[in-house]
Structures are given as C-alpha cells and as structure tokens.
Structure 1
Amino acid sequence: MIWYTVKQMPLAGTLVDGRYRLVRPLGHGASSVVYFAVGTDGLPYAVKLFPPELSRRAEREYDTAAHLVHPRIGQVHKRVQIEGRPSLILSFARGRVLFQRYTQRPALQTERKPYLLTLAHVLEALAYLHGHGLVHRDLKPENIIVDGDGSAKVVDFDLSGPIRENFGTPVRIGTLAFQSPEATRGEPLGTESDLYGVGLLLYWGLHGELPEEGAPLPPSPDPLDALRVQLMMPEREQRLASAAEARRQLLQLAGLPY
C-alpha cells in the first residue's frame, strides 16, 4: 500500500534540486519508485524515491555506490529529498529489463550474440564491483537494463554491501528465485554468490525458463553449459568466484575474442 500511494503522487513536472525535471514514472518495486527526469544540462536521468521510513536504505545505497564509475553500472550521482522522501539521482540506463528485452526464448538460440553481450557486460560490471570489495546481492533480470543490441547495465545497489558482510544473525538478502543456496541460509555473501545469479541467467538463456526448485538440473549440449555448471555448484567453495574469469570462459566457449 505504501508504494501504491507513492506511485500515484502527481510528481510529473516537479523540479528537483533546481536541476532535474521529473517527467514520468519508469517503474516501481518493493522499496522504491523510479522516475524519468531531464536535467538542465539536457541529459536524461533516473530519480529513485524511497518512503521516509526507508531513509537509511537510501543512504546505504548512496554510500555504497556513489563512488562507482563504470560504463556497465548505473551511476548514483546525488542524494536529495523530494517532498519529504529520500531520493537518489541516477544515470539513465537506456533499454528494458532483461526478461522484457528477450521475449523469444531460449535467448541463446533466438538471439545468441546479443544475449552473450548482455552476460559479458553483466560480468564486467560484477568484476568492477567485486574489485571494489562489494557484492551486488540482488542480481536479477529487473536489475539488468538491456539495450536493443544486447548492451547492458547493472543497476540498483540498495542491497549491495561489502564482501562477506556479517550482520551477526542470519539475514536472507536478495530475491528468492535468484538467491544462491548460501543466501537462502542467511549466510554472509561473497563474489561466488553473485556469480550464482549469473549462472541462473545462463541457465535461462539455455533453456528458456528458470530451474524448478529441488529438481535436478538438465544438461544442455551447448558448450556454455560447462560454464553454467561451474557457476551453479551447490557448494560455494566449489563454485567459480571470479567474474573476470567467468567472462573469459564465456567468450572462449562461445568462440568469441576476449
């Protein structure tokens, strides 16, 4: 009910911070609503609004991601207030969320080259993020914006944080369908936990659907299935943990230069 109220607020036309004019809603999730905006510099932006009770979450996303600058990551520019709501000014990522972009499935059969580019860009983003000591912790199609040619950006860092961050008690972070086994147990998450999510995206690209919970994973004759197996090992210690290595293998198995 909170987000229905926020979504219906007549914010279009509002000038934020004297620089960003809200134009229209782009979408909303469990904890925020995002508006398309145009800056006085003529550039497009996204503006993410949180409810007042989630101000700490907005602050955490800003503190985590404001220093991250990479072409495959949605940049967080500034923290502002909009009618009493904590908000963030973000770079605008052109395209659609991954599942909306790839409507013909399995994507690796119908649009192999674009989907490979999408996965390669996601792995580039994760390699950069992990190199800064951070894990995304909510890698899912809704947090991957894909353009027409397959170019992709990873967005939404409100659940991100330091590698192996320990909260003192088990905390289940992320979206259930894309959680690693250790995430469902509430354990501290590492780079291999993000890469499990990439494995699920690879599985989806190979089979056109997500695996059924508890069911054995069917093999695929596609050479990329070898990488999928490494990314989705149930035991985190046996799983591939380097995004850069995963990208190298992805392109090598696909017969592309890396």
Structure 2
Amino acid sequence: MFNAFAAHSANKERYIGDYLLLNTIGKGCFAEVRLAQHLLTRAQVVVKAIKRQGISRFFQEVHCFKSLNHPNITKLFEVIATQDKFFLVMEHVSGGDLLEHLEKYGHMKEGEARAVFRQVVSAVQYCHQRGIVHRDLKPDNILVDSDMTIKLADFGFSREVSDDKQSTFCGTIYYSAPEILQRHAYDGRKTDVWSLGVVLYRMLTGVVPFEGDNFVKVKRQIISGHFNVPHFMSREVQKLLRKLLTVNPNRRPTLEDVMKDPWLNKGQEQMLRPFSELPWGDLDPQVTEMMQSLGFKQDNIQESVTQRKFDRVMGTYLILRMMKTKMPGRTIRVRPYPSPDTSSTSSSQEVGQPFDETKEPSIPPNCLRLRVTTLPPNLESMTTAPSEFRTDTPSTDLQLGSEGSSFTQSSSSSSSGGGAPVGATYKSCLQAGQPEGGTPASPSGHTQGRKGVLRKAFQFFLRFTCCGPSTKKKHLKRTKVKPV
C-alpha cells in the first residue's frame, strides 16, 4: 500500500511548502490526508497527498475544486506538485460531518433540517450552475462547523458535464438514483437531486428511506420508489420528498425548481436563490496589506489571485481571507517566513512547485477512467449487508468495495494545534491589516515577562481563531476528507 508520507520520528518536523504536517487523519491506496499548520498564519488546514498513480482522479478533483467558490463548499487553497506526489491544501472543518451529528443527536426537527438543507441545496445548485455534478452526495460528505454552517466536501467522483449523459457506475448505494442502479445513461444533475432527497429523509427520520439486508433488496426498493412516510412529517415536507424521490428522472425537478419549494422557504425572509459569487479580481485591501507586511508584492498578489494560480501566494491570500471572515474584528497574527524557492532547506523539508495543469504528464487516454485492476464480483449474487460502492469506471468494470473502505479521519490532540508553540514566535501582529506597533522585536530580545504576556494573549486568541481548539459541540471532533 502506498504511503504518501515517509515515516519520521515523533520529534522530527516535516514540511511541504509553507505547511508543517501534523497527524494523519485518513489513508487510502493512492492518497493520504494529514492535518497541517500554515507556517505564515498558524491556521490549521488539511493536506491531501496523492501519488502519481492516482493522477486521473487528481486532475478531475482539482479541476472541479478550482472552478468552485461558494461559502458552503470546502475551499481549495493551494496545489503543490513534487517529483512523485501531488498535494492539495484545503480548508479544515473542525466540526465533523452530518452523519456524526445525526448519530449523536438523532433526527432533526423540520426547522433545524430546513436551515441545513437550504445550505446544501445552495451549494449543489451552484455546482450544477458551474456545470459540475457531485455524484456522491450523502451525510458523510457534508461537513458541519461548530455553528452548523455546512461545507460540501469530497469531489472525488465529481465531473464537469454538458448536456451529454453519463454512464459511470459510482456513488453510495443507499443514495444512488434508480437509473444508476439500472445501468442506464443518466443526467448527473438529476441523480444529485435524488441523493438530496435521501439526505433530507435521513435528516428528518434518522434512517434512509430504502433499506435491505443485501444489495439486491436495496436495489429493488430504490427502483420501486416506495418509502414510508412517518406521521410526524408535515404535508409540505412530504410533498418535497416525493418530488425529490421521483423514480422517473424526466419528472424529477431541477434544483432551481427545488429552491422555490414552499417548505424550503417557510419562515424565511427571502426565497432561496442561486448564489452569485464575487469576481475573483476584487481583492480584499486588508488582506493584501497583511500579505505585503509578510513580504509579498502587490503585483504578485494581483496576478496570482486573478489568474487563479492556486500557488503559494494565492494560498496565503485565501487562508488570510478565510481567517478574517471567521473571526471579524479579531487580531490575525502572522509571521514572515522565507520562501522555499529562495532559502535553503533541511533534508526533512520537501519543497514542491506550483501545480500547472498545462503540464499534465503523458498518460494513455484509457487510463483516465480505468481504476479497477481485478475482476469484479457478481453483485446480483451477493447476500451480505449492503455496502458502499465507490468506483469511477465504466459499467463494464465495476468493483464493489466494503464499508470498511470508507473511513473517517479522527483528530487527535495534535489536531487542535499539536505543532510547535505558536504565539511566542510571531514576528508581526496585524489587526484589520494594520501593524500593531511598528517593527516587532526579535524573539531573542523578549524578556520573560513579555513571553508570559504573549502566552496569555495567544491562549485568549486561540479561543476565537479558526485554528484553535473548539469550545462548542465537543462531540464533533473530526474532519471528513475522502482520499482516493
């Protein structure tokens, strides 16, 4: 099995670019996911390392991520390429996922479910608006922040589509639309709508609408389209569920239609509307001022962000903007850090280059979709409990995976800032883009009293910043990121 990160002693630091790699929170055949700390801002991020054998999945996922900019979709900060690996630096959501929330608290009341579902619908409709289908919508892939802000994640099966239909057999069986299980050509946007219906049903009841003790029975239930409607559901939400879970995809609504549904807009000041993103060229002047204090040049910032390079410059800009959004009015502490391109590095530090999609390695066209190397089992003859299938191959090359292949990454104590001490090493302190007091003194010139004050200030700072330990909903401690 591929291990994207070589084994190191517990006391030996390891870096990729400007990121200090911390504990592993997920592992797959071609990828490994680790919690990391951005050295310039001390923000916690997630770094997903993909070996070059998983290149087709990598390009697909990165292409979709680069096209999306929505407040309810996990953000991609930076892409780094090394000789043998690719690294995706992404937003860290500390609250866990929706599945964990449901398992902990049980089903939601309609008002709570509406608040969450509106965010999910907005995120998925935005993807469809950008020509991208998700194809694996389920509570596991809906991350939840401490304030119940949701973030759609795991775009490993996503694909950019036009009016052509897809034929790839992929997803998770309980949330799969009938046309996928029947091996028909399908519209990925309509299959996403079906999956959202299953997600809403599970939010309201705690269970999925179509169950069975093996794959064949679950498939039969889904194709029939019959599901129980609990007595405690309002008539409005029952009507919405029946629209979402319409067996005939031609009669299934689009998400633009769903946005007009009476239940979804009940008690809301405004009807849910498609999201309109701000142009990428409109830079935040406070964030750019902070970056200039770190040594970045205005022209380089403008070029990197407007051209969407997802390099070191853009990554720092996006992280600072995210921190500013999550902690308005708070002090954002940053420190200059030498660029790996211009400074010498130790043997324990791995330096990558910005990823360039135009320099994709030459690989056979057929390899872009081939992901199965063993003969598939006969699905119709299986009698075991229904399991999650995660493939991205044509329907003639189907491989069934077990639920054990889907994993959840847990954050240990190091996920709450298990790196080196932070506050005492900051070399500059900016609030709303303004220096707090001229040129900061070097760490070596600090007195013991100064260190004590900084330590206390940093402990207070951690309570509010996005990269500090959460003080709310302590049962949600995990970040859900799916490797390849």
Q: Secondary structure at the match of 1:127?
A: helix
- Report 1:65-104 matches (<5 A): 65-81=65-81, 84-104=84-104
Aligned residue for 1:108, secondary structure, equals: coil
2:227 corresponds to: 217
Which residue in 2 is equivalent to 1:136?
A: 134
| Structure having greater relative contact order (Cα 8 Å, sep ≥ 6) | 2
Matches within 5 A, 1:93-242: 93-104=93-104, 106-109=106-109, 112-163=110-161, 170-184=167-181, 185=183, 187-210=185-208, 211-212=210-211, 213=218, 214-215=220-221, 216-220=226-230, 221-222=233-234, 223-242=236-255
Q: Kindly state the Cα deviation for residue 171 of structure 1 after the two structures are TM-superposed.
A: 1.8
Aligned-pair CA distance for 1:67: 2.8
Deviation at 1:232, TM superposition (A): 0.8
Query: Residue in 1 aligned with 2:15?
Result: 15
Relative to the length of structure 2, the TM-score reads 0.47
Structure-1 separation of matches of 2:9 and 2:137: 29
Whole-Å separation in 2 of the counterparts to 1:11 and 1:123:
45
The range that moved more, 200-209 or 212-221, is 212-221
Deviation at 1:164, TM superposition (A): 5.2
The alpha-carbon deviation at position 183 of structure 1 amounts to 2.4
Residue 264 of structure 2 aligns to a residue in which SS? helix
Separation in 1, partners of 2:184, 2:31: 23
**1:108/1:116 contact within 8 Å kept:** no
**Paired position in structure 1 for 2:400:** none
Shift of 1:137: 1.1
Partner of 1:257: 269
How many Å apart are 1:195 and its aligned residue?
1.3
CA-based RMSD of the aligned residues comes to 2.7
Write the deviation string for residues 206-255 of structure 1: whole angstroms up to 9, x where unpaired: 2211121234301233231211111110110111112x442442433x44
The number of residues matched between the two structures is: 250
Post-superposition offset of 1:27: 3.0
Larger radius of gyration: 2
Q: Structure 1 residues 36, 83: CA separation in 2 closer, same or farther (over 3 Å shift)?
A: farther
One-letter amino acid of the structure 1 residue matched with residue 75 of structure 2: Q
Q: Per the alignment, do residues 163 and 257 of structure 1 end up closer, same or farther by CA in structure 2, a change over 3 Å counting?
A: farther
Q: What SS does the corresponding residue of 1:89 show, helix, strand or coil?
A: strand
The answer on whether the counterparts of 2:196 and 2:244 sit within 8 Å (CA) in structure 1 is yes
Percent sequence identity is 23
In 2, the alpha carbon distance for the partners of 1:72 and 1:233 equals 26
In 1, Cα distance between equivalents of 2:57 and 2:135: 14
Residue 161 (structure 1) shift: 1.1
- Relative distance call for 1:10 and 1:131 in structure 2 (3 A) is farther
Deviations 1:148-199 (A, max 9, x none): 332101012121112357588x320222222112222252433221111110
| 5+ residue gaps, structure 2 | 212-217, 271-484
Deviation at 1:115, TM superposition (A): 3.0
Q: Which amino acid aligns with 1:237?
A: N
Q: How much does 1:6 deviate?
A: 5.2
Contact 2:48/2:87 (8 A) holds in 1? yes
Distance change in 2, residues 1:93/1:236 (3 Å):
same
Cα separation, 2, equivalents of 1:25 and 1:240: 41
Partners of 1:89 and 1:72 in 2: how far apart?
17
Kindly indicate whether the alpha-carbon contact (under 8 Å) linking 1:135 and 1:189 is maintained by their aligned counterparts in 2. Answer: no
Amino acid in structure 2 at the alignment position of 1:25 = T
Contact residue 21 and residue 34 of structure 2 kept, 8 A: yes
The aligned amino acid for 1:183 is: I
CA distance in 1, matches of 2:9, 2:165: 36
> What CA distance in whole angstroms lies between the structure 1 residues aligned with 2:186 and 2:203?
28
Find out whether 1:64 has 2:74 as its counterpart.
no
Q: Specify the alignment match of 1:246 in structure 2.
A: 258
Deviation, 1:61, is: 1.0
Task: Report deviation, 1:104.
Answer: 4.7
> SS of the residue aligned with 1:219?
coil
Which whole-Å CA distance do the structure 2 matches of 1:30 and 1:179 have between them? Answer: 24
Gaps of 5+ in 1: none
Matched residues in 2 for 1:27 and 1:94: separation?
15
Would you tell me which structure has more strand in proportion to its own residues? 1
**CA 1:218–1:121 in structure 2 vs 1: closer, same or farther (change >3 Å)?**
same
Query: Using a 3 Å threshold, how does the CA distance of structure 1 residues 232 and 37 change in structure 2: closer, same or farther?
Result: same
